[in-house]
Amino acid sequence: MKANSEGGKLHRQKMLKKKTCPDCLKVISDNTRSKIIGQLKRGPNKAGKIEERFSLTQPTISYHLKSLAKLGIIFGKKKGREIYYFLNKKYPCKKCLILKMPFKI
């Protein structure tokens, strides 16, 4: 019985990692997130520079960055006191080709 339980747990973990197109579309349906993706398509940028682009508070931008990172569209790397954000070119959702879409900045 224990082996079956572990197998079920592994299956659930795989299901959680699998991204679906509705998840992608829900995340990028927000105009700010779409603009962030468009900005990062040009190249990596630090959080402060991303914040300067928008007339929103730092916590609001952080929320959007976290939403994009949670889905795997972007990722951050800390360098010193700054966090640089990158577009994830190995994004797991290949069906919807979300990163091939044109985004207006």
- For the chain, list the domains and their CATH numbers: 19-100 (1.10.10.10)
pLDDT at res. 1: 46
pLDDT at res. 88: 86
Bridge-partner residues for 97, per DSSP? none
Secondary structure, 3-state, 11-50: HHHHHHHCCCHHHHHHHHCCHHHHHHHHHHHCCCEEHHHH
Express as a percent the part of the chain with pLDDT over 90. 31
Q: How many CA atoms lie within 13 A of 60 on its CB side?
A: 11
Structure tokens at 61: 């931008």
Q: What is the DSSP letter of 99?
A: G
pLDDT tier at 41, thresholds 50, 70, 90: confident
With 60 as the cut, is the pLDDT of residue 40 above it?
A: yes
With 50 as the cut, is the pLDDT of residue 12 above it?
A: no
Q: What is the pLDDT of residues 54-90, one digit of tens each?
A: 888 999 999 999 999 988 889 999 999 999 999 988 7
Q: What angle do CA 59, 60, 66 make, to 5 degrees?
A: 85
pLDDT at res. 63: 94
Q: How far is CA 22 from the centre of its chain?
A: 14
Structure tokens at 73: 């569209």
With 60 as the cut, is the pLDDT of residue 17 above it?
A: no
